[in-house]
Structure 1
């Protein structure tokens, strides 16, 4: 970011899960990125001010306890028929002044569809805004169903939080 220091970063991680059902495949994908023990709270897609996005694994997934809330943005797609593909992706743009950014999340049955949807959504979200934004970035993940349901997951976990009175 050009004019402001980054104090926090949100990791963006991806995984594939395979299971007997689409739900268990989704759970296995969450377990693969150490998020299988949280209650997910899906956020709208605003990146807070002075917060970067990490896709290189420099920032760990937030840590909490079993059953905590995990605030996150995610894209998830499942496939159940052999040969069917599942693609998920998250894209983002950051304001150049360091005052935040925007995530978008898309799912589909082809890499091209998801990439196009991400880039189109980001272009639409910043069109006509006075703020200046960096070039779009994105993370995508795909998997193909072989014989059991498969899940592709891309998730940006913001933070874990306890339930009031839970400790």
Structure 2
């Protein structure tokens, strides 16, 4: 929590990117989630006390070219040589002490609905395992998922944005 007792927000955003290659599709997904001009640094999945994941369409970030940006992310991509269902998602559990955990899953299947179903199942199973391992009952649960059918190079991205740092 910040000095006045309010929880700090972790924006959780999803996006679908397209491009001429899988890499440029990933860049497009980063761009569409509002973080395309940052150096993305992946974190493990522990939420510090005082922070709260919140679904947003785009993070409220000061745009500074090249800053470090700490995230938890799930991304699935395809070259699109054949139609492929893609899905990615992040789930979270917040415990009574204020801390929590993220889980991130991604996958591909014959169609987007099947890929999404598998990702959502994996999120639920992982959250259950992480809670059991910590002997903690979640006070709050949440998730953000996205799916698409890749008809060319495509990337689906779910990202939880912690904070940015200058160099």
Q: Which band: TM-score by shorter chain? A: 0.7 to 0.9
**1:61, 1:157 within 8 Å by CA — same for their partners in 2?**
no
Identify which of 141, 144, 157 aligns with 1:139: 144
CA contact 1:88–1:153 (8 Å) conserved in 2: yes
Q: Where in structure 1 are there 5+ consecutive unaligned residues? A: none
Q: Provide closer, same or farther for how the CA distance between residues 139 and 56 of structure 1 changes in structure 2, counting only shifts above 3 A.
A: same
Matching residue of 2:105: 106
Scaled by the length of structure 2, the TM-score of the pair is 0.87
Aligned to 2:129: 124
Q: How many residues align?
A: 156
1 CA distance for matches of 2:145 and 2:43? Answer: 19
Greater fraction of residues in strand: 2
Give the distance between the partners of 1:139 and 1:103, measured in 2 at CA. 11
Q: Structure 2: how far apart are the matches of 1:128 and 1:25?
A: 36
The residue aligned with 1:20 is: 20
* Contact 1:106 1:117 (C-alpha < 8 Å) held by counterparts: yes
| 1:87 paired to 2:92 | no
Instruction: Tell me the SS of whatever aligns to 1:138.
Output: strand
Query: Secondary structure at the residue paired with 2:35?
Result: coil
The answer as to whether partners of 1:119 and 1:136 remain within 8 angstroms in 2 is no
Please say if residues 31 and 37 of structure 1, whose CA atoms lie closer than 8 Å, have aligned partners that are also in contact.
yes
Deviation at 1:64, TM superposition (A): 4.3
Query: Can you list the C-alpha shifts for 1:133-154, whole angstroms capped at 9, x where unaligned?
Result: 12532110011112x2110000
Q: Which runs of 5+ in 2 are unaligned?
A: 109-114
**Contact preservation (8 Å) 1:17, 1:32:** yes
TM-score, normalising length: structure 1:
0.87
CA-based RMSD = 1.6
